[in-house]
Each structure stands twice: as structure tokens, then as C-alpha cells.
Chains A and B, each alone.
Chain A
């Protein structure tokens, strides 16, 4: 599988070229921009036919939806499966076929070759696509604790091949040495396995929808930390103030 990143850094899209018939790309269904007609697409259908509850959610849409859902009295619909657990599968029927994938929000897209970077821990919101040889595990103990209460899962990523990672805004890489680093949870895209981390609430003054809901992650050890320069929760919190009230315009 070859790839090329276009329109960097604000509106990055990956052009993926399959090298052989039967090669597969797993992708967030909302991240698939285009594909050649010979590529077989299998995955959850989008749209009204399955209803909104069946729609895989990601990015800002998921953040807005989760926020509204959590505050709607009497609404207890089962959440749809996350995009990483129910991805679309693109299978090439011939060499040199092309597909395009992009993160739902404006911003950059990075390709991490797992043979080079090693095993990772990845925020589920940052999953865009991967080779089928990449493994994603969201069932390990502590996977949900990192992003709580904002929602999301910390995925263990292993295997080999390219992993396409996207967030909101640009990507900022911090190479950690012994001194460590502290960052807002909402800005964390991924980090290399082996880094020690601790998440703690930070004193805030009741600001709804703030970044990471006021949680700071402190990392120590040697490794690499991938941050996004924007946090969807910040935009969500701002938009929430403009929600209309029933009975008003």
C-alpha cells in the first residue's frame, strides 16, 4: 500500500494506492472521501435507511451528539458502535486502484508506520484508517478511563503497516525525554507505548464543555506524544451557548 498526503496541513487528504488485488484498507466510514469503482466497499451504511442511531459517529459530530444526548432527559438510546470498531473495508480488485480518506474535521492527517514507531496508544477519535494488518484493541482495562468523562477510548495499536491519524487542527509532536510533559487530555491524539501517564482533573470554575473537561495528562519516560492543535470540546462548548431554547427563536 502506497500513500500520499495532499492539501496539507489544513485540509489534508490521503491518496492511497493499493499495490495488489485483495489488499484491504479499514477506515472510519465518514473518512472515506472517494474510491475507484473497482474497489469493493463493505461497511455500515450511512444515512436515514438505518436511522441516526446506526450511524457511526466521529469527530465534532460525535462530540456534539454525545453532549446533547447526555443532557436530553428521558433519552436512553443505545449508543452506536464507534467507528474504529465498525470500520468500512475497502478491498482492491486490482493493483494501482486509488482511494481517498480524510479526517472529518479540518486539520492535518499523519501516517504512522507501526514498524517504525512501534506500538501506540491512540485516542479513538483520532482513528481515520489503517491497513488491515494493524490491530486495534479497545477492550483492555483502563481504555475508557483516559478520556472520561468526555467520552472516547484509548486504543492499543499493534501489528504492522500504516495507521492514518487525524484530529482537529494541526499536529504537534513532542519527543519526550526524562523531563516529561503535561497536556490537556482533549489535545491528545496518540502516544508511544511505554510512556507512563497519569490523568488528573485540573481546577476549573465550572466551565461547561471545556477542553478535556478540565483534565490534564502528565507523561513521563521516553517516547513520542502526538497532539492536535485544536480541541473539538472547545468549539462544542462555545456552540452550546448558542443552542436555541424551546419556545424561542
Chain B
């Protein structure tokens, strides 16, 4: 598949050209349009959905509202049938797109960022330790986003959507990063807990301090950060909405 990204950086759209019979795995909400010979070949539901629902069924009391549990990801396989085809893809919010060529070690990325991948790319969401990466020390279900690991034995591509612009950072030693702004990183990097940053401003901020998960990235590799935090955006918008009735 060939990917061309246009309208960069704020309104990026990826045009994915498929050869006859070729497929692409996409996030359902990322689809803008497609040529008429591109068909939905398969639909896959992330097991994260069952994970969150199972926690609720067990009676676990999440620290965040139930609405803020990890978002279920719905992946669709789109296939060009009978002729070459194209698919238009975009992130859900204004921002840039990142195209990564899969390398042996693979990548990890924030779950809200997934847009598309080559069919051979394996996406793992249930690896030990991934749940805790974006959490604030509470139950894993409390984290509104989670990490996904992408790897492939074959050459493949991974397309991610950022909230805002994308800045690549070279890690040569250690980097402390706020996880809401972390879009993706090379799997070779070690990630350690670096605590929780509690931002306290005026008297109002003291009542509802913003808590942010900090992680230390160690080793040699690249980290891509997004210049806006989608979870912070979601919380701002959520506060502006009327409360739901329990």
C-alpha cells in the first residue's frame, strides 16, 4: 500500500492507495471515504472492550466515571476488489499523521492514535505492564487510554493520528515525559514510572488538581510526542457537558 499524507499539519488526511486484492486495517472512526470497489472484508472488536466491561461486571469501582474507561477500538479490514482502490483516512481531531515503517522491535503507541496498519501488523493490547503505562496509580481500568504494541515479521506500515503537531525526540539516556503527550515510541526503549505530577495553581485548581502520569524513557531510541493531550481535551469537553444521570 502506498500512503500519501496531505493537508499537513493541522488537518492531515492520508490517501491510501491499494493494489488489486490488497487490504488495509483501519480504525472505523478514521474512515473518511473510499473508492466504490473497496469493500469491508472483516470487522474486529478490540478485546479491550471486554476488558473494561468485565471490570464493571465484577463490581470494581473505577476512580473515573464509567464513561472514561479505555475506548473500545473497532478495526475494519478494507480490501480493494477487482481493481486498485483508495481509502481516505484521518484522525478524529485536528492534527498531523505519522507514518511508521515497521522495524523488527516494533513500536508502542497510545490507543487513541491508531488510524491504520498493514494487514500483517500484529497489534497487542494485553501485554503485561501496558495497562499501567497511562494510569495514575489507580486500577488499570481507570486509564482512559492504553498502550498498544505493533510488530510485524514482514515489512509493514503503521499510521497514527496525533492531537496537534508531532515532534520526534531522540532518547539517548533518559527522558521524562508526560504520558498524555506521548504518541508512540520504539519498543526497544525501557519505560519506568516517574511518579505523578500534581499541578496546583490558584485556589480553584487546588480543589481539583490536574494529575499527570510521568514516565522515564531510558535507552536509545525515538519517541514521538503530540503537542496536545487528547485526554486533557476530553476532560475539558466533558466538564462542559451536563452531568449524566447515574
Contact = CB atoms under 8 A, between A and B. Distances in A.
Interface of B: 6-7, 10-13, 28-29, 31-36, 38, 40, 43, 45, 65-69, 71-72, 74, 88, 90-94, 112, 144, 208, 230, 234-235, 237-246
19 contacts: A10-B10, A108-B11, A181-B33, A181-B35, A182-B33, A183-B88, A187-B33, A203-B40, A205-B72, A211-B29, A227-B32, A239-B238, A241-B67, A241-B144, A242-B144, A242-B234, A242-B237, A245-B245, A247-B246
Contact of B237 (A202, A220, A239): A239
Contacts of A238: 71, 92-93, 112, 230, 234, 237
Contacts, number: 158
Nearest to B15: A172
Contact of A237 (B29, B35, B238): B29
Contact of B238 (A231, A243, A247): A243
Interface string A162-176: 000000011010100
Interface residues of A, number: 49
A184 interface: yes
Interface in A84-105: none
A170 B243 contact: no
A189 to B, nearest CB: 12
A207 B43 CA distance: 13
A73 interface: yes
A245 B65 contact: yes
Nearest to A180: B36
Given A68-B241, A68-B242, A183-B33, A230 B90 contact: yes
A12 B13 CA distance: 18
A107 interface: yes
A72 B242 contact: yes
A181 B86 CA distance: 10
Interface of A: 9-10, 64, 68, 71-73, 106-108, 169-170, 172, 174, 179-184, 187, 202-205, 207, 210-211, 218, 220, 227, 229-231, 234-235, 237-249
Contacts of B94: 10, 106-107, 169, 230
A244 B243 contact: yes
B35 A182 contact: yes
B32 A172 contact: yes
Contacts of B235: 242
B11 A10 contact: yes
A230 B29 contact: no
A131 B112 CA distance: 41
- Give 4 closest A-B pairs by Cβ, nearest first: A242-B238, A183-B33, A170-B11, A239-B237
A64 B241 contact: yes
Given A169-B94, A170-B7, A172-B32, A245 B234 contact: no
A229 B144 contact: no
A248 B35 contact: no
